[in-house]
Structure 1
Amino acid sequence: MTGLASLISYPALLLAGLSPITANVTNTVALVASGIGSFAKSGRVLVVDDGGRSLAREGLIALAGGAVGAAILLLSPDKIFVFVVPYLVALASIALLAQPRLRARVGEAVSHRGWWAAGIFVVSIYGGYFGAGAGVMFVALAMVLTDLPLWRATLLKSALLGIANAVAAVGFLIFADVHVGAAVAMGAGCLLGGWAGPPVVARLPATPLRIGIGLGGLGLAVWLAIGG
């Protein structure tokens, strides 16, 4: 519903015995369904009124970033992946927890489309590289660089991250060791969660939800750092 699914599904795949890389690519393939479910349920909100932004342009940026991230994962040594991921998740979680102060400091300067486009590209690279925690990063990005409310930020996250995941998933299905059975099972849950998520998030108090997402991300970062 809010980007926390991958914070549970990735560790679950590790506990089921999959290697970190196999768990990651399987998780990314499954998460495509979350974006599909979310956009099918509430995507018209973004299409009708995207706050002055072009959803099609942002989607192309996310697609390019997801492709770059997937290529980096497929071409880089496994040990680099294991080392950098906890720090990336922790950084996004801290940014989300500190969002009010960060937003106050950066003010309107970062609302320029160039900053937002660059942020989408960078986070999409991360999403293509590592599925778990990417939702937290997208929500943090939108909350700091735009004036969107949390529920709209989570909806936009689902759409853009779904695109980044989709292009990465194609590459993983062709070139990586995806556990198809696990991807299908988790994909079914992600589809239902993506469908039900936006209306629920729109009714939840924003501040406790933002804090909960941030703490969940920090929990995953610590778990990964100590060898989860």
Structure 2
Amino acid sequence: MTLWEAVAVLLAGFAGGALNTAVGSGTLVTFPVLLATGLPPVTATVSNALGLIPGSVSGAYAYRRELAGQRRLLIPLCASAAAGGLVGAGLLMVLPPGVFATVVPVLVGLALLLIAVQPLLTRALRGRLTRPGGGLPLRIGLGLASVYGGYFSAGQGILYVALSGALLEAPLQRINALKNVLVAQVNAVAAGFFLIAADIDWPAALLIAAGATAGAPVGARAAQRLRPVALRVLILTVGTAGLLHMTLG
């Protein structure tokens, strides 16, 4: 890796950490930059997942006020996310790289649709599927979304926000805080698996980690100042740009 490539990876980590904390989809910034440095796709995915962990933890800490009082909710959701993330990491090691290529845009597109109609959907489902703790439907949904997150993390945060917004009775900022913890959980579980089973480019992972750790609080502060409607519009804008990048790009 040249000096300029290292600078590009560091800046991509900063932008990815800020985006992940604010809305999700930071991998759509970091992953292409890692590929541009010459890393194979699987190595780039593994190094990216490992590098983004400190940023996810930093982002979760920045949202500690919104996380207050949610420990009982987080424990079962984190368990579901960890199980899904481990399965996804295993799939990355055994499946051909193109298997999820057609599935990823569909999942992200569905998540964006759910976020767009979330206020209407929540009102329609209130008292039917929505529960104060999300219930079994949310745990199952987050577990399945975490399979994707462990395999390839681009857009996983948007999936978490969409599912939680539809099935959980909570304000959007608190849902965003939960999302940051779940992303950190899945990345940590996947990275633990990758440490044993995959090749990691440590310079790239460390540069992503440094940038993401610095960028995450910046993204958190920006997102926390937004009203729910503005935050939803920002998520939809970033997610749509990422979706177009994946399908056209």
- Tell me which residue corresponds to 1:49: 69
Query: Identical aligned pairs, as a percentage?
Result: 36
Structure 1 residues 5 and 103, CA gap change in structure 2 (3 angstroms) = same
Indicate if the aligned counterparts of 2:108 and 2:159 stay in contact, CA closer than 8 A.
Answer: yes
Letter in 1 for 2:196: I
Aligned to 2:79: 60
Q: How far did 1:44 drift?
A: 6.0
Say whether residues 1:225 and 2:247 are aligned partners: yes
- Is residue 2:115 matched to residue 1:93? no
Task: Note closer, same or farther for the CA distance 1:79–1:182 as it changes in structure 2 (3 Å cut).
Answer: same
Cα offset for 1:53?
4.0
Partner Cα separation in structure 1 for residue 173 and residue 137 of structure 2? 21
1:29 to 41, 50, 60: 50
Q: 1 CA distance for matches of 2:191 and 2:149? A: 11
Q: Distance in 2 between matches of 1:19 and 1:104?
A: 45
Please, what TM-score do these two structures have when normalized by structure 2?
0.81
Deviations 1:36-64 (A, max 9, x none): 11233333642x411x8432222222211
The residue identity in structure 2 corresponding to 1:78 is P
> Contact between 1:111 and 1:146, CA under 8 Å: does it hold in 2?
yes
Counterpart pick for 1:109 among 107, 125, 128: 128
Q: Which moved further from structure 2: 179-188 or 2-11?
A: 2-11
Range with greater deviation from structure 2 (5-14 or 128-137) = 5-14
Q: Secondary structure at the match of 2:126?
A: helix
- Bigger Cα displacement from structure 2, 162-171 vs 194-203: 194-203
Aligned length: 225
- Mapped partners of 2:76, 2:172: distance in 1: 22
CA RMSD of aligned residues (A): 2.1
Match of 1:201 in 2: 223
Residues 1:102 and 1:45: Cα distance change in structure 2 (over 3 Å): closer
Q: Deviations over 1:45-98 (max 9, x none)?
A: 42x411x84322222222111101111221111120333222222222222222
Consecutive unaligned residues of structure 1, counting only runs of 5 or more, are: none
Distance 1:158 1:97, change over 3 A: same
Aligned twin of 2:213: 191
Cα pair 1:63 1:167 within 8 Å, conserved? yes
Write the letter of the residue equivalent to 1:41. A
Q: Does 1:134 align with 2:156?
A: yes
Q: 1:101 to 1:44 in 2, by over 3 A?
A: closer
User: Which runs of 5 or more residues in structure 2 are unaligned?
Assistant: 1-20
Aligned counterparts of 2:84 and 2:53: Cα–Cα separation in 1: 15
CA 205–42 in structure 1, closer or farther in 2 if over 3 Å, else same: closer
Which among 192, 200, 216 is matched to residue 178 of structure 1?
200
Q: Structure 2 CA distance, aligned partners of 1:98 and 1:194?
A: 27
The equivalences for 1:136-175 within 5 A come to: 136-175=158-197
